[in-house]
C-alpha cells in the first residue's frame, strides 16, 4: 500500500545523505565520528559522563552540584537555564541569569557545559555561554531551531523526540548536518509507550543504540534520568546502557546533604553524587575489563557488580 509520509529504514541514505553510514563512506564500518567538546571526546575510547541539575535554580545550588559531580568523576556539567515545562505556570528556568551561573560553574570546576536551547532566536545567546547546545526531546522536530543550531559553530546534543522513529531522529540530525555542522551527539532519553507513567516515566529504548551504530557514524549517549523518571532505576539503567554500547550518559544529580533544597524540577529522578560516583566507577571497571587488562584499578566507591566483573571479587 502506498502511504504518504511513510518512512523506511532502507530509505535512510536518501533521508540523510550526509549522516547515513551507507550513503557516505566517510567512516569505516563500526567507526564513530569523534565529537570534541573542549577536551572531552564523544565516540572515543571512554564513555563520557555528563551530570548536573535538571535546572539551574540558583548560583548556590548549581555550584554545589557542579563541584559534587566533578568530584564524582563527571566529565561535563549539565543544567537547564531555559526549561521546557509542561505547564506555563511551572518554573521556566532563570534564562540569561542561569547561563551566567553556568559559566561561573564552568570556570570554577573546569567542566565544559551543555545546556538546552528552545528558541531559534536565542541560539546565539546560548552559544555564547555554553560549550555544547542541547536540543530537547520536545524540539527534535523544530526545524528552524535545528537549522539555527547547525549554523552556531558549537557541538550539538540532539535528544530523541519522545515519539520519534529512528528515521525521524536521524532526519532531524541531518538538518543540523546540512548546515555544515557534523558535531552532533545523539541522545536516547526514553520513548512514549503504553506503560508510561505506570511504573516509569518513559521506556528506555536500548535497542536503538545498536541501530544507530548501524545507520550512522554519530556517537550516541543515553539519558537514564528522563528515560526512567525514578531515581532508583537510574544506576541500573546506566549500567545497562553502557553494556549496550552507549558512548556516554547524561544524568540528573541533586545535592544529597541534609538540609539541601529539593529540586524544583524532576526531583523524583535525581540521584545523589555518591550514586553518580558508583556509575563512574562501573564505567571505568567495565572499560578496563573490555581492554583486557585483567583486574581493573578500581578506587572506592565501586559497585560490587563492577568489582565482580573485573574479577576483583
Ligand atoms: C533535559 O535534559 O533537561 C530535558 C528536558 O530532557 P528531555 O528533552 O529529554 O525531556
Ligand atoms: Mn529534567
Q: In testing the pocket of ligand 1, which one of 76, 79, 90, 134 has its CB within 8 Å of the most ligand atoms?
A: 134
Q: Are residues 262 and 312 in the same domain?
A: no
Average pLDDT over residues 255-274: 96
pLDDT at 295 over 70: no
Instruction: Evaluate whether residue 134 is within a structural domain.
Output: yes
What whole-number distance in Å separates Cα of residue 18 and Cα of residue 291? 32
- Kindly indicate the confidence band of residue 293, based on its pLDDT and cuts at 50, 70 and 90: low
Q: Are residues 298 and 261 in the same domain?
A: no
Task: Say what percent of the chain tops pLDDT 90.
Answer: 88
Q: Whose CA is nearest to atom 4 of ligand 1?
A: 136
Which range (84-93, 106-115, 183-192, 286-295) has the least confidence? 286-295
Instruction: Evaluate whether residue 1 is within a structural domain.
Output: no
- What CATH number has the domain bearing residue 131? 3.20.20.70
Q: Are residues 99 and 222 in the same domain?
A: yes
pLDDT at 307 over 80: no
pLDDT value of position 39: 97
Q: Are residues 46 and 170 in the same domain?
A: yes
Is residue 167 within 8 Å of residue 192, measured between CB atoms?
no
Ligand 1 close to Cβ of residue 189 (< 6 A): yes
pLDDT at 308 over 80: no
Question: Domains in the chain: how many in total?
Answer: 2
Q: Are residues 243 and 278 in the same domain?
A: no
Q: Which atom of ligand 1 is nearest to the CA of 136?
A: 8
Spacing, Cα 86 to ligand 2 middle (Å): 12
Instruction: Evaluate whether residue 242 is within a structural domain.
Output: yes
Spacing, Cα 136 to ligand 1 middle (Å): 5
Report the Cα 211 to chain-centroid distance in Å: 17
Instruction: Evaluate whether residue 192 is within a structural domain.
Output: yes
pLDDT at 313 over 80: no
pLDDT at 97 over 60: yes
Q: Are residues 30 and 142 in the same domain?
A: yes
Q: Are residues 175 and 252 in the same domain?
A: yes
Spacing, Cα 252 to ligand 2 middle (Å): 7
Spacing, Cα 297 to ligand 1 middle (Å): 34
Q: Are residues 97 and 112 in the same domain?
A: yes
Ligand 1 close to Cβ of residue 137 (< 6 A): yes
Ligand 1 close to Cβ of residue 93 (< 6 A): no
Sign of the torsion angle spanned by Cα atoms 37, 145, 6, 203: positive
Q: Whose CA is nearest to atom 9 of ligand 1?
A: 137
pLDDT value of position 218: 98
Ligand 1 close to Cβ of residue 160 (< 6 A): no
Q: Whose CA is nearest to atom 3 of ligand 1?
A: 54
Instruction: Evaluate whether residue 94 is within a structural domain.
Output: yes
Name beta bridge partners: 248: 48
- Kindly indicate the confidence band of residue 167, based on its pLDDT and cuts at 50, 70 and 90: very high
Q: For residue range 174-215, what is the model confidence (pLDDT) as tens digits? A: 999 999 999 999 999 999 999 999 999 999 999 999 999 999
Q: Are residues 202 and 301 in the same domain?
A: no
Q: Are residues 201 and 249 in the same domain?
A: yes
Q: Are residues 288 and 230 in the same domain?
A: no
Q: Are residues 245 and 297 in the same domain?
A: no
Instruction: Evaluate whether residue 249 is within a structural domain.
Output: yes
pLDDT at 303 over 70: no
Task: Say what percent of the chain tops pLDDT 70.
Answer: 93
Instruction: Evaluate whether residue 5 is within a structural domain.
Output: no
Instruction: Evaluate whether residue 6 is within a structural domain.
Output: no
Output the average pLDDT for the chain. 94
Spacing, Cα 275 to ligand 2 middle (Å): 17
Residue 34: domain span: 11-271
Ligand 1 close to Cβ of residue 202 (< 6 A): no
Global pTM value: 0.93
Ligand 1 close to Cβ of residue 79 (< 6 A): no
Average pLDDT over residues 43-61: 97
Spacing, Cα 14 to ligand 2 middle (Å): 34
Q: Whose CA is nearest to atom 6 of ligand 1?
A: 136
Amino acid at each position: 500500500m502506498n502511504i504518504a509520509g511513510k518512512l523506511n529504514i532502507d530509505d535512510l541514505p536518501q533521508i540523510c545523505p550526509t549522516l547515513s553510514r551507507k550513503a557516505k563512506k566517510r567512516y569505516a564500518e563500526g567507526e564513530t565520528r569523534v565529537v570534541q567538546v573542549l577536551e572531552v571526546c564523544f565516540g572515543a575510547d571512554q564513555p563520557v559522563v555528563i551530570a548536573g541539575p535538571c535546572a539551574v535554580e540558583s548560583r548556590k545550588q548549581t555550584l554545589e552540584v557542579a563541584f559534587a559531580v566533578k568530584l564524582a568523576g563527571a566529565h561535563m556539567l549539565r543544567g537547564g537555564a531555559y526549561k521546557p515545562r509542561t505547564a506555563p505556570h511551572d518554573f521556566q528556568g532563570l534564562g540569561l541569569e542561569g547561563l551566567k551561573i553556568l559559566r561561573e560553574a564552568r570556570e570554577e570546576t573546569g567542566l565544559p557545559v551543555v545546556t538546552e536551547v528552545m528558541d531559534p532566536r536565542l541560539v546565539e545567546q546560548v552559544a555564547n555561554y555554553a560549550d555544547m547546545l542541547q536540543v530537547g526531546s520536545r524540539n527534535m522536530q523544530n526545524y528552524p531551531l535545528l537549522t539555527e543550531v547547525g549554523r552556531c559553530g558549537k557541538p550539538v546534543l540532539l535528544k530523541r523526540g519522545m515519539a520519534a522513529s529512528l528515521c525521524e531522529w536521524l532526519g532531524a540530525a541531518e538538518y543540523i548536518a546540512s548546515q555544515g555542522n557534523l558535531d552532533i551527539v545523539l541522545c536516547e532519553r526514553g520513548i512514549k509507550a503504553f506503560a508510561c507513567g505506570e511504573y516509569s516515566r518513559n521506556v528506555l529504548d536500548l535497542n536503538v543504540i545498536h541501530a544507530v551504530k548501524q545507520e550512522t557514524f554519530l556517537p550516541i549517549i543515553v539519558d537514564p534520568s528522563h528515560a526512567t523518571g525514578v531515581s532508583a532505576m537510574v544506576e541500573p539503567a546506566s549500567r545497562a546502557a553502557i553494556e549496550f554500547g552507549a558512548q556516554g550518559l547524561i544524568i540528573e544529580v541533586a545535592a544529597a546533604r541534609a538540609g539541601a533544597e529539593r529540586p524544583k524540577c524532576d526531583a523524583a529522578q535525581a540521584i545523589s553524587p555518591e550514586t553518580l560516583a558508583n556509575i563512574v566507577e562501573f564505567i571505568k571497571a567495565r572499560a578496563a575489563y573490555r581492554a583486557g587488562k585483567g583486574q581493573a584499578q578500581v578506587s572506592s566507591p565501586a559497585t560490587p557488580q563492577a568489582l565482580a566483573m573485573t574479577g576483583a571479587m
